[in-house]
Amino acid sequence: MGTQTKKAAPTGPTRRKVLVTALAAGAGVAGARMLGLRNLDSRSLGTAMDAMDMSMAAGLSDPVDEYDAMFGVADDSFFGAQDLDPSNVPQVKPATLPPVNIRPAVALQPPISGIAAPKLAGDVDWISPLAKQSAKVTHLLRRATFGATEAELDRALSEGFARTVDRLIESAFVEPPVFPAPAAPRPSASASMSPRASASASALPSASASAKPSAAAGAAAVPSPTSAPITTFTVRPSPTAAPSTGATASMGAVAPSASPRQPTVMTNTTSINIGNLQGWWLDWMTKSPTPFAERMTLFWHGHFTSDYRKVGTNSPAIYWQNLTWRRMALGDLRSMLLKVTPDLAMLRYLDLAASTGRAPNENYARELLELFTLGIGNFTEDDVKAAAKALAGWRLPNRTETAAQTGIFDTRRAFAGAVTFLGKTGPFNTEGVVDTILAHDATAPHIVRALVTSFVTPSPSDALVARLADRFRRTRYDTKTLMRDIFTSPEFVAPDTFRSLIKSPTEFMVSTAKALGAANLSGTIRQYGSTLGQNMFDPPSVAGWGDGATWISSNTMLQRANFVTAALGTMRTAPSAARAHERHLDSVLAQGTVNEFNLARDDKSRWFAVFASPEFQLK
């Protein structure tokens, strides 16, 4: 597999791009509204966006004002009914919702240390509300938990920022219900599950002292995770029983239900349905009482990438990998790397299972160094070749080893000689490779930069990365400590971080479902994952998904609006949207968004305006 490099975070006008692209999409929405269309993906509307798509692909190389001039409207506003020929506009009933008052756009506040000032066309942006405790809380929930339900938001606001950080970090992660094998009953719609504690590492394959055991050691030849305790779900006898309070203690969500019969026990030869697996995880994202666990699982899924197309669905390997990322999400990096290497899905995806001492395959070794740990420029081709030899020997279980859930090391396939790796010469095994990587100065900054870019800012300063990386290294690469340091750093709530990140399609859709309190949207989310460019278990390359501005174009903004239409269409009635702008957008809005809100005639219309607004695309 050829090297795929993760794209650097864009340094251009992230927030401004969302505003301008939303303007283009807004023209399509207004046109659809005038024509009485519900689906915004008509060819007539899409054709009008082609020129805009090209401009967005070029990274807004042209002045923003040219786009505004195309529609004859001012900056930061939507093309709406007020800009159409009055004779063609249907009469709108008076709004029954209270009017929205907002803070205006103002000049950017000076950045604090650690955050690079964004480059915005015209130097105009929303004012940051992050000096307020409530805004810090909602800022945290947007980035760490896919937004929040009403109950989750109320609890976090009552606890305050610091206590909410403590709860997210320290709460034992709750695992999703067991994914059923094909012969098992499908999950039902009624809640019938209660959690059980499964905190010990004994529930997972145990570790031996060496990562190069004898072949007889089999599946036990991998380290166990060191993350926080896990709560798993077992099926209650009654399919109508209410979920236990223990399952909702963390974030007030309701655990998903399952059939009263136990699912079939899986082996490594059990086939899975990938569509069902995608729906299983998306459903749990919307319902998990510990949503920070799902946010971290999604991060590691994009970092230690595998995809079902290469891994295959004739084994539950990709499902087991998902469980691993959740169980180890806040553990130490050493244990995770020792678990990643012989992971069944990874063995297939990056071809380590085909690697032998006589014919080493370099795919996994290269991505281990380039994407997973060190980064480009911190190793040589000779290091890749040496690591490939040292890691050779892992294989997939054979037909008689169906209970094995991890790779098996075979000394007959291993390389027996000495190699020179990252400046050290001698015999290496898997542990030796991992320990040498962790001793390298580039490892901690590489992991820190990936996490900070995902949770804080698209352009972290070298000083911020160095400070966090130093403590990360001193804590023996403890991810829980690192995440606490990230959330409690002054940079996390600095004015310039407000709405500096763009929600991925999954974050956008799950946060929409949670804001609506809709627990039945996993199928719709899965359907639109393909359209918006983010299918679970199917990243486009070993580098994972793109970040930031790669998610935004006039077409994807229209498709996000389509998703909102579909989501609202599943609801007989919508919850009150009277305070939606306060609770989900911090009451900091562009004037065009306010105009859309005040044109809304009912709750569904205002919710549509919330979710389709440029403000909601950001976090």
pLDDT, one tens digit per residue, over 103-147 is: 544 333 333 334 333 333 233 367 899 999 999 999 999 999 999
pLDDT of residue 326: 98
Query: Residue 81: exposed, middle, or buried by beta-carbon count in 10 A (0-12, 13-18, 19+)?
Result: middle
Q: What is the mean pLDDT of the segment spanning 466-476?
A: 98
Q: What is the mean pLDDT of the segment spanning 35-59?
A: 36
Q: Which two tokens stand for residue 93?
A: 């009933």
pLDDT of residue 22: 54
DSSP-derived 3-state class of residue 574 = coil
Q: What is the mean pLDDT of the segment spanning 316-322?
A: 97
pLDDT of residue 545: 87
Verify that 450 and 433 share a domain, yes or no: no
Verify that 392 and 319 share a domain, yes or no: yes
CA distance 470 to 475: 9
CA distance 166 to 155: 13
Of 459, 493, 527, the last residue of a domain is 493
Average pLDDT, the chain: 77
Of 420, 438, 456, the last residue of a domain is 438
pLDDT, one tens digit per residue, over 283-296 is: 999 999 999 999 99
CA distances from 465 to 121, 478, 489 (A): 27, 16, 11
Verify that 424 and 511 share a domain, yes or no: no
CA distance 124 to 273: 48
DSSP 588: B
194, containing H or E segment: strand 193-197
Verify that 320 and 247 share a domain, yes or no: yes
CA distance 126 to 107: 8
pTM comes to 0.75
pLDDT of residue 346: 98
Confidence of residue 15 (pLDDT cuts 50, 70, 90): low
Verify that 119 and 182 share a domain, yes or no: no
pLDDT, one tens digit per residue, over 374-419 is: 999 999 999 999 999 999 999 999 999 999 999 999 999 999 999 9
Q: What is the DSSP string of 492-504?
A: TT-GGGTT-SBPP
Domain count, the chain: 3
The angle at the Cα of 182, spanning 181 to 184, to the nearest 5 degrees, equals 65
Q: Which two tokens stand for residue 536?
A: 């679970």
Verify that 483 and 536 share a domain, yes or no: no
DSSP-derived 3-state class of residue 421 = strand
Domain with 42, as residue range(s), is 14-130+498-617
CA distance 23 to 588: 18
Confidence of residue 194 (pLDDT cuts 50, 70, 90): very low
- Asked if residue 388 lies in contact with residue 421, where contact means CB atoms within 8 angstroms, the answer is no
Q: Which two tokens stand for residue 586?
A: 């911090």
Verify that 201 and 341 share a domain, yes or no: yes
pLDDT of residue 188: 42
The angle at the Cα of 287, spanning 286 to 291, to the nearest 5 degrees, equals 75
DSSP-derived 3-state class of residue 487 = helix
Other CB atoms within a 10 A radius of the CB of residue 402 amount to: 13
DSSP-derived 3-state class of residue 106 = strand
- Asked if residue 271 lies in contact with residue 314, where contact means CB atoms within 8 angstroms, the answer is yes
pLDDT, one tens digit per residue, over 259-276 is: 434 456 899 999 999 999
- Given the structure tokens 């719709």, which residue do they identify? 524
Q: List residues bridging with 420 in a β-sheet.
A: 425
Which residue stretches of 341-475 are H helix?
344-349, 363-367, 381-391, 430-438, 443-455, 462-474
Query: Does 189 score more than 50 pLDDT?
Result: no
pLDDT of residue 590: 87
Verify that 489 and 504 share a domain, yes or no: no
pLDDT of residue 554: 86
CA distance 172 to 228: 6
Confidence of residue 420 (pLDDT cuts 50, 70, 90): very high
Verify that 502 and 488 share a domain, yes or no: no
pLDDT of residue 99: 74
Confidence of residue 180 (pLDDT cuts 50, 70, 90): confident
pLDDT of residue 1: 54
Query: Does 19 score more than 80 pLDDT?
Result: no
Query: Does 199 score more than 70 pLDDT?
Result: no
* Structural domain contains residue 143: no
Verify that 227 and 80 share a domain, yes or no: no
* Sign of the alpha-carbon torsion through 163, 166, 172, 178: positive
Of 438, 468, 484, the last residue of a domain is 438
- Given the structure tokens 């190069």, which residue do they identify? 212
424, containing H or E segment: strand 424-426
Q: What is the mean pLDDT of the segment spanning 410-432?
A: 97
Q: What is the mean pLDDT of the segment spanning 14-23?
A: 55
pLDDT, one tens digit per residue, over 208-251 is: 333 443 333 333 333 333 333 433 333 233 333 333 333 333 33
CA distance 143 to 122: 27
* Structural domain contains residue 89: yes
Radius of gyration of the chain (CA): 25
No. of helices (H) and no. of strands (E), the chain: 25, 9
* Structural domain contains residue 165: no
* Structural domain contains residue 141: no
- Asked if residue 471 lies in contact with residue 485, where contact means CB atoms within 8 angstroms, the answer is yes
Confidence of residue 11 (pLDDT cuts 50, 70, 90): very low
Confidence of residue 97 (pLDDT cuts 50, 70, 90): low
- Asked if residue 370 lies in contact with residue 376, where contact means CB atoms within 8 angstroms, the answer is yes
pLDDT of residue 137: 98
* Sign of the alpha-carbon torsion through 210, 211, 216, 220: positive
CA distance 211 to 203: 19
pLDDT, one tens digit per residue, over 590-613 is: 888 898 999 998 999 999 999 999
Verify that 106 and 187 share a domain, yes or no: no
Confidence of residue 487 (pLDDT cuts 50, 70, 90): very high
In the chain, the amino acid numbered 455 is: F
504: left (phi over 0), alpha (psi -120 to 50) or beta: beta
Verify that 256 and 318 share a domain, yes or no: yes
Q: What is the mean pLDDT of the segment spanning 562-567?
A: 96
Number of residues that this document lists for the chain: 619
Short-list 463, 456, 538, 450, CA closest to 498 = 456
CA distances from 309 to 202, 348, 352, 576 (A): 31, 10, 17, 42
* % pLDDT > 70, the chain: 67
pLDDT of residue 187: 46
* Structural domain contains residue 140: no
pLDDT of residue 460: 96
In the chain, the amino acid numbered 235 is: V
Cα 266 to its chain centre, rounded Å, is 27
In the chain, the amino acid numbered 181 is: A
CA distance 604 to 524: 17
* Structural domain contains residue 155: no
pLDDT of residue 486: 98
